[in-house]
Structure formats: structure tokens, C-alpha cells
Amino acid sequence: MSGVYVVLEDRNGRIGRISFEAIAAANILAAQSGSKPTAIVIGTQTEALAAEAATKSVGKVVRIEHALLSYTPDGYNAALKQFIAAESPDTIVFPHTYQVRDYAPALAARLGRVLIGDVTQIAEGPVFIRSLMQGRLSGSYKSSGSPTLISVQSGAFRAEEGQSGPAEIATFTPSIEASQIRTKPGEPFRGAAQTVDLSSAPMIVAVGRGIREEGNLSLVQDLAASLGAEIAASRPICDNGWLPIERQVGSSGQTVAPKLYLAVGISGAIQHLVGMKGSQCIVAINKDAEAPIFEVADYGIVGDLFEVVPALTEAIKSARQ
Ligand SMILES: Cc1cc2nc3c(=O)[nH]c(=O)nc-3n(C[C@H](O)[C@H](O)[C@H](O)COP(=O)(O)OP(=O)(O)OC[C@H]3O[C@@H](n4cnc5c(N)ncnc54)[C@H](O)[C@@H]3O)c2cc1C
């Protein structure tokens, strides 16, 4: 048996940020045996992805390449199953993306294993921790046997900024027949032009029901503009149609992990917190000193947002002049 592997995902020809977070999680596991993880890139042309992966904190990169490996769950699973049979990994870490949710549970079933999905923490053992019941409970999972398959939640592990390498790059060529692939790859999914990927925004100003009405949103939009931040919201704001649904943060919205998350008039319900508690610095403005958002905030301002936000915007603008 050999080591910890991490599958990296191709996002328009580059490795997506959540894959770097998966590398960080794989490093936590690999460090327990004093080794480095092996990165896996999959596709029809993986040279550039492998070169990018080789500069990260990995011991080796494997390109699983085949002309039939444009993404389909059947193709990926056939290839990974052969690779696993050849390498007998102890653990494979996946980023918890839509694509991984599409194929990895079936891969686990084919191997007679389970996928421990959406892991938020790894403790000694290793023990894998994930949220249950919309974040009200957390469950601890231990794996017996191998391979252990886990996927890690976006924002739960801090992507390693440091580069190392270049790591050795190897190629694995699976044997795949066209008849094994039951679905036809369509055009890769691209969001509408105005769709934002909040998960990669370095700064976010998020607004909640404390803003009272749609016409007041310009207050937080000015604050976001002064910082160069993306705007986001709690669910009631999006339910009201004041901001588009893709700007919702939380259990039924996006999971984000910016350097700065500024929560304005948001109470901090658990369904909101699960989407932003991985942020590096959380600043909350709320008139209720008992609001649960202050339990996760690094800095809190107890005050009326209609006074605090314009003053803050002015202060930021003049500091930036
Ligand atoms: C299945 C399910 C899924 C959900 N998914 C999500 C999700 O993805 N994301 C999400 O956000 N929610 C989600 N929710 C809803 C969640 O439970 C909360 O209802 C919601 O997050 C509350 O939004 P809020 O904090 O903006 O509003 P409120 O809870 O009403 O809080 C408003 C806050 O503004 C403060 N305030 C009011 N006036 C001012 C002022 N003048 N100055 C400063 N502060 C002020 C108040 O003190 C209060 O703390 C979900 C709920 C369910 C049941």
C-alpha cells in the first residue's frame, strides 16, 4: 500500500482553488507518515495542469491521460479504478466540487468503499469530521481498510500559498473502451457572464436583513466598492430578489473563505455561518450585542449599520486617497 493521493480538478485549463485546499488536507494526512501526497490530474491533455501541480506542495504528480477522458463519470471512474488497482493508495482526497459529487460516490461503490464527503477537519487517527443536520451536529468518521476516500469542503482547509517542487511527473495510461462510457460529454458548464464565483473572492461584504429594504443596498454596495470587495448576502435578501441567488452565502448558497468577510446586519444563523466561518478575518456590524455572528467574528462593531457603514466607507475612501 502506498500513501496519500489527491485528485486535482481542471477549471478551464487551470487547477481550481479548492484543489489547492485539497492538497493542504492531503498534506495533513501525509505528514502523519512523514511523506508528501501524490497529485493526480485527469483528462485528455494534462501536461499544463501537471506542470502547475508539480510546483505545489506534493511529492509527485501523476497524469492519468487518455483520449476518452473528457469528463464523464464512467470515464473517470474506469480510469481511477485501474489506477487504484495498480497503486493501492491508502487514502485519496478529492475537492468537494459538483464534478466530484457526480463521480466519486460511484467510484467508492465500485470499490466497495464509502466516500466520506464534505470533510471540514482532520484530527489525529486520522479522524474525519463533517457537519450534519445543516451544521447543528458534527460527525467523526474513522476508516477501516483502504483506500479511504474523502472529499474536503470548500474553505475548510487553507490552501497552501507556498510553492515547492518541481515534483516528478509520471503518466498513467488507463485502457478505456468507448463502449464503457454511457454518457456523452456536453459543453463544459459555464455560468452566465454575470455569475460570480464568490468562493475565490479575496474580500466580501455581505448584507443581511438588517438593511431593511432594497433601496438601502447602495450603502453596502458603496462600502464594497471602496474596498474592491464582492457583495454577498444572507438568504432573506436573495429570497426577496434584492440580490441574485448566486450571491447567497450559506448552507443553501455558496461556501466562501475570503481574507476578509464583512457581515453587515446579519444575525449569524447556523445556515449562514456554515458558508463563511472559514474566512480568515470576520468583521461583523450588528446593533444587537448578543447576535451569534459575534461568536465567530474577529472584530465586532455593535452599532446601527446606517451610521457605521457610511462612516466606514468614508474612512476607507480617505485612507485610500
Ligand atoms: C434549510 C435552510 C437553509 C438555509 N440556508 C441559508 C443560507 O444558505 N444562507 C443564509 O444566510 N440563511 C439560510 N437560511 C436562513 C437562516 O436560517 C436565517 O434565517 C438567515 O440567515 C437570517 O438572515 P439575516 O441574518 O440576514 O436576518 P436576521 O436573522 O433577521 O438578522 C438580521 C440582523 O440584523 C441586525 N440589525 C437589524 N437592524 C440593524 C441595524 N440598523 N444595524 C445593525 N444591525 C441591525 C439584527 O440585530 C439581526 O441580528 C436557511 C434556512 C433553512 C431552514
**In ligand 1, which atom is closest to the CA atom of 305?**
42
- Checking if the pLDDT of 269 tops 90, the result is yes
Give the mean pLDDT of 157-163.
70
Indicate which residue's Cα is closest to atom 49 of ligand 1: 267
Name the DSSP letter for residue 118: E
Buried b / exposed e over 226-245, threshold 16 CB at 10 Å, is bbebbbbbbbebbeeebbee
- Checking if the pLDDT of 185 tops 80, the result is no
Task: Tell me, in angstroms, the distance from the centre of ligand 1 to residue 134's CA.
Answer: 15
pLDDT at 160: 66
- Checking if the pLDDT of 221 tops 90, the result is yes
Task: Tell me, in angstroms, the distance from the centre of ligand 1 to residue 287's CA.
Answer: 13
- Checking if the pLDDT of 162 tops 60, the result is no
User: How sure is the predictor about 276, in pLDDT bands with cuts at 50, 70 and 90?
Assistant: very high
Give the mean pLDDT of 171-195.
79
pLDDT at 278: 85
**In ligand 1, which atom is closest to the CA atom of 288?**
47
Task: Tell me, in angstroms, the distance from the centre of ligand 1 to residue 266's CA.
Answer: 5
- Checking if the pLDDT of 15 tops 80, the result is yes
- Checking if the pLDDT of 82 tops 70, the result is yes
Task: Tell me, in angstroms, the distance from the centre of ligand 1 to residue 98's CA.
Answer: 26
**In ligand 1, which atom is closest to the CA atom of 291?**
49
Residue 178, number of CB atoms within 10 A of its CB: 8
pLDDT at 17: 79
Q: How far apart are the first and last CA of the chain?
A: 59
Give the mean pLDDT of 169-196.
80
- Checking if the pLDDT of 128 tops 60, the result is yes
Q: What residues have CB less than 8 Å from 91, skipping those under 6 apart?
A: 3, 4, 5, 26, 29, 143, 146, 147, 148, 149, 150
pLDDT tens for 288-319 read 999 999 999 999 999 999 999 999 999 999 99
Instruction: State the chain's mean pLDDT as an integer.
Output: 92
Answer with the residue of higher pLDDT: 51 or 135: 51
Of the listed ranges 15-24, 62-71, 158-167, 190-199, the least confidently predicted one is 190-199
Residues in the ligand 1 pocket, defined by CB under 6 Å: 134, 208-210, 234-236, 248-253, 265-267, 269, 271-272, 275, 285-288, 291, 304-306
Of the listed ranges 40-49, 59-68, 201-210, 269-278, the least confidently predicted one is 269-278
Indicate which residue's Cα is closest to atom 44 of ligand 1: 286
pLDDT at 274: 86
Task: Tell me, in angstroms, the distance from the centre of ligand 1 to residue 137's CA.
Answer: 20
Grid coordinates standing for 203?
474580500
CA separation for the pair 106, 115 (Å, rounded): 9
**In ligand 1, which atom is closest to the CA atom of 208?**
26
pLDDT at 132: 84
Q: Which of 98-102, 220-224, 267-271 has the highest average model confidence (pLDDT)?
A: 220-224
Task: Tell me, in angstroms, the distance from the centre of ligand 1 to residue 298's CA.
Answer: 19
Q: Which of 132, 204, 209, 249 to mutate to test the pocket of ligand 1 (most atoms within 8 A of CB)?
A: 209
Give the mean pLDDT of 274-295.
94
- Checking if the pLDDT of 192 tops 50, the result is no
Sign of torsion, CA 81 87 90 95?
negative
**In ligand 1, which atom is closest to the CA atom of 237?**
26
pLDDT tens for 103-123 read 999 999 999 999 999 998 999
Task: Tell me, in angstroms, the distance from the centre of ligand 1 to residue 295's CA.
Answer: 15
User: How sure is the predictor about 194, in pLDDT bands with cuts at 50, 70 and 90?
Assistant: very low
- Checking if the pLDDT of 172 tops 60, the result is yes
SS3 266: coil
Indicate which residue's Cα is closest to atom 29 of ligand 1: 267
Give the mean pLDDT of 232-248.
94
pTM above 0.85, yes or no: no
**In ligand 1, which atom is closest to the CA atom of 268?**
25
- Checking if the pLDDT of 134 tops 70, the result is no
Task: Tell me, in angstroms, the distance from the centre of ligand 1 to residue 269's CA.
Answer: 6
Sign of torsion, CA 175 55 15 37?
positive
